[in-house]
Each structure stands twice: as C-alpha cells, then as structure tokens.
Amino acid sequence: MHRQHIHWKPEEDEKLLSLVKHYGKKNWNKIAAEMNTRNSKQCRERFFGHLDDDIDKQPLSKEEDDLILEYRQHETDNGWVKIASVIYEKFKIKRTPNQLKNNYNQRLLKKFYN
C-alpha cells in the first residue's frame, strides 16, 4: 500500500518550532503527542531537515563540493550522514544529509555530464 505524502502546513511548522523551543530537541514523543497530526519521526525529520536554525542554508562552497566529490569516490554506500559529519568537523558548517545529496545530484553531477 502506498502512503500518501502530506505536506507540512505553515501553522504546523510554527507549532513544531514552538514545541521544540518548549521541550528541546530530544523530546520527540512529547512533541508529537502535542502536534497530534504527526508522529515523532516526522517531527524530528522536519525540524532537523528544514527548520533548525543551526542548518546553513547558503549555497555550498567549492571546498564543500570538493569534499563531497572526494568522499563519493570512496564511499560505496550513500554515506551522506558521514559526509555531513565530516563537513561539520572540518568547516564547522552544519548541513543536512539531504542538502548534500541534493547538491550532488542536482548540481555536481550536471558539471560532469554536461
């Protein structure tokens, strides 16, 4: 059975941000219970993937791109979490694994195939 993807509404984002401010970034079961429309995994992924102020949303630097390309040559699996961790350790820039994957697929691969 195919699960329907329900987009987050702006008011849900506002409520989630308020609940994270109240409960912190680790109490996802409590947050989900108060959200009443999303489970704990959905809340956690939405916050860390889109709403967390610590995430740098600026375009990636050439140094970050180079690091991604270097790791992608050596990683046989999709090690986006590992690459995000290395970028943070090396540059002190917080990126989500999804940001890195999208940058790689949408921008970096086009450079090589165009």
List pLDDT tens digits, range 31-67: 999 999 999 999 999 999 899 999 999 999 999 999 9
| Percent of the chain surpassing pLDDT 90 | 73
Give me the pLDDT at residue 108, please: 84
- The CATH number of 10-51 is 1.10.10.60
Q: Which residues of 22-49 are buried (b: 16+ CB within 10 A; e: fewer)?
A: eeeeebbeebbeebeebeeebbbebbbe
Residues 65-92 have pLDDT tens digits of 999 999 988 776 668 999 999 999 999 9
Distance from C-alpha of 68 to C-alpha of 66, rounded to nearest angstrom: 5
Quote the pTM value.
0.73
